[in-house]
Amino acid sequence: MNGAPDPDHTPWSYLSAQLLHHLLFAVRGQQFLRSQAGLGGRRWPVFGVPGHSVALTVDDGPDPQWTPRVLDLLGRHRITATFFLIGARVREHPDLARRIRAEGHRLGNHSMWHPQPFAALSPARVRAEIVETQRTVEEVTGVVPRLFRAPGGNWSPKVLRATGDLGLLPVDWTVNPSDWRSPGTDRITRRLSRSRAGHVLLCHDGGGDRSQTVAALATVLPRLLDRGLRFVVPGGDGD
C-alpha cells in the first residue's frame, strides 16, 4: 500500500532515505546488543522498554484474516501488545480496530497509506500521512494514538520533527524476524526467541499471508512468559 505519488519525492530525497534506511540496520544491531536498549524521546525513536519486560508490536493491520488470530492468541496468554495501524485499513475494517482497543491493546499510528521510502516524502506529505491517520483512528475508536512508527522504520530528522511536533512518541524496534517476507515459521520463531528484557519485538498482522507469524507467536509467547518476561507497551501504559 504505497499511496499516491508525492510531488516533492525527488531522486536525491529517495537516495538519502535509502542510505538512512541501511544505516538504521546498524543502529538496531547496536541497540540489540546493549544491556538496555534506548528508551527514546520526542527526537529519537524508542528502541527499548524498562525493567524485566518486552514489548510486542504488530504492524500493517487491521487485517480481517490475520488480526483476529493474533488477538485470539494474545487473549489466550493475557498479553498486551501495541498495534501500529494503517489509517486506510482502519477505514476498511473499523470493527477490527475497535476490537483491538476493546481488548486492551495500545493503538499506534503507522501512516495513512504506508508510502515508502517514508523519509523521502515532502514535509507536508509526512505530516498529512500522520494527521489523517490520527483523525481516522480517533473517529473509529475514540482513541487518539500517542505512538508513531514510520513505515519500514524509515526515520529522518524531518520525520522525527513532524512526529514530535504532533505530540507523538516515535517507536522503532530491536528484534525483527522479517516475518513480512514469510521466511518460514522456524526462522521467525528462532529470531523472536532471542528476545530478552528491554527489547521491542516487531511482527506483522497485515500486508500478506501472516500464517507463519501466527504460528511462530503461538510458540514464542509462552516461551517468553516462562522466562518471567512481562509484556508492556512502549512509552508507558496510558492511551
pLDDT at 8 over 60: no
pLDDT in tens, 61-77: 999 999 999 999 999 99
170 membership: H or E segment, kind and range: strand 169-170
pLDDT in tens, 80-104: 999 999 999 999 999 999 999 999 9
pLDDT in tens, 164-200: 999 999 999 999 999 999 999 999 999 999 999 999 9
Give catalytic status of residue 59 as yes or no: yes
Nearest alpha-carbon partner for 188 in 219, 216, 207: 216
Q: Where are the alpha helices (DSSP H) in 106-228?
A: 123-141, 157-165, 185-193, 211-226
What pLDDT was estimated at residue 4?
Answer: 46
pTM higher than the cut 0.75: yes
Kindly name the residue from 59, 60, 63, 172 that is annotated as catalytic: 59
Residues 6+ apart with CB under 8 A from 94: 140
Give catalytic status of residue 105 as yes or no: no
User: How many whole angstroms separate alpha carbon 142 and alpha carbon 23?
Assistant: 37
Q: pLDDT averaged over the chain?
A: 92
Q: Check if CATH label 3.30.565.10 holds for domain 11-231.
A: no
Mean pLDDT of 22-43: 86
User: How many whole angstroms separate alpha carbon 118 and alpha carbon 156?
Assistant: 9
Judge whether 36 and 46 are in contact, CB under 8 Å.
no
Kindly name the residue from 21, 105, 110, 204 that is annotated as catalytic: 204
Domain ranges of the chain: 11-231
How far is the CA of 140 from the CAs of 18, 91, 111, 150, 172, in angstroms? Answer: 34, 8, 15, 21, 25
Question: Which residue would you say has higher pLDDT here, 4 or 90?
Answer: 90
